[in-house]
Copies of this chain bind each other. A is one copy, B any other.
């Protein structure tokens, strides 16, 4: 029987990073993947959606260039070409992961893993032995038992990435990140889009003021909040609205994006503690079995690709490394890549109130910023909010809505991780002109002493 220092099951941003890091430390590693390198992120999540959103943004810009001096006639969008580019991106990234595995001497087996016990995993007819086991099996779209949800025009985020034609109308059930990104994409390419959300606001991790502005800025999208979907027919979605009235919206396509469930099936023989969110882990990503770790969506602690990668590093640190790393959740950024973009890191005011943390906060309009004005004009909308601890001034939250948000936010993670205070950020020199300057502006408005 082939024996390894580590067996990793699943090659998403949790699993492949774990395998890579362990391989880089000279460990003998087996990576088991049932389908394609990269998991949901590369094949059916982060990457394809960002590729399509980039295409749609270019399409929007090409139509919208006149005021900037760019005239274009006969602007049209080819879904087939956009899908082909998306697929090429996916293929390149799969190849990149394959290369990483080779260069870190990770052995790879394709096939469905059968978990036999804490040290044995079977694929097809072969059993592999591992001193340590990392479960990185991810999550799948959750499809609630709504009548009509099994029809062929009702898709999850998996299926909608494979469609051939631009739908005339789309109803998105669920206004989380996945729902909003697809709503933004399809509205940009000409589909009539409606989002039905059960809660009183979209994007639950987002500051309420920002979520409201996001809805307003997604100009082609109709939102119905606080409503319950009752049934999906061949051409409509029937729901009860916030006032309790029965309503109906025509839909040639329906996206079901109400949430994801951890892929815990097949783990039964291991005797793992599993709760509502997924496999229970401690801050080292260790399960109740000392040599079994669970990272990424399958533990349900933070359903983000970069959280999975970080969990991979924490797990490898604790298995083979310094054993000093712990998973911290207070400075994990998130981003929504629609048009406009949004990103955040740390807590919102609502969360601070719930946690009883005394805070001060300051919001600034992006239209007070030189670069934003140069690129979007004074009618453009965008917000930056900085939240600090009321007593210490330590930065505890940064929230962005507008261009470049997803590429600016990493600095906020650095501020929070380094426990910098408002006064410290005021001493950092931001490049001019850049949208990022607004973070400093907000800090000066929080405290104008020098």
Contact = CB atoms under 8 A, between A and B. Distances in A.
Interface string A352-386: 00000000000000001011011101100000000
Interface in A383-431: 404, 406-411, 413-415, 417-418, 420, 424-431
A292 interface: no
A164 interface: no
Nearest to A306: B432
B407 A317 contact: no
Interface in A64-99: 65-83, 85-86, 88-89, 92-93, 96
A325 interface: yes
B62 A69 contact: no
Given A65-B58, A68-B58, A25 B431 contact: no
A435 interface: yes
Interface string A48-71: 001100110011011001111111
A374 B89 contact: yes
A72 B62 contact: yes
A171 interface: no
Interface stretch (A119-127, A263-271, A273-281, A330-338): A330-338
Interface residues of A, number: 101
A271 to B, nearest CB: 28
Given A69-B82, A80-B69, A417 B427 contact: yes
Interface on chain A toward B: helix, strand, loop, or mixed SS? Answer: helix
A133 interface: no
Contacts of A435: 407
A435 B408 CA distance: 10
Interface stretch (A145-153, A216-224, A245-253, A308-316): A308-316
A370 B47 contact: yes
Given A407-B435, A418-B424, A429-B307, A450 B322 contact: yes
Contacts of A348: none
A160 to B, nearest CB: 16
B77 A69 contact: yes
Copies assembled: 2
Contact of A333 (B93, B431, B448): B431
A21 B409 CA distance: 27
Given A61-B61, A68-B81, A70-B77, A450 B55 contact: no
A121 to B, nearest CB: 23
B417 A414 contact: no
Contacts of A81: 66-69
A103 B368 CA distance: 14
Closest 10 CB pairs of A and B: A411-B411, A69-B82, A321-B450, A69-B81, A317-B450, A51-B374, A404-B407, A306-B432, A72-B72, A73-B74
Interface of A: 13, 21, 24-25, 41-42, 46-47, 50-51, 54-55, 58-59, 61-62, 65-83, 85-86, 88-89, 92-93, 96, 304-307, 309-310, 313, 316-317, 320-322, 325, 328, 331-335, 343, 368, 370-371, 373-375, 377-378, 404, 406-411, 413-415, 417-418, 420, 424-437, 439, 448-450
27 contacts: A21-B450, A50-B375, A58-B68, A59-B69, A59-B70, A62-B70, A67-B81, A69-B77, A69-B79, A69-B82, A70-B75, A86-B374, A89-B374, A92-B373, A96-B368, A309-B432, A331-B428, A333-B430, A335-B431, A406-B434, A407-B407, A413-B429, A414-B414, A414-B418, A417-B424, A418-B420, A418-B424
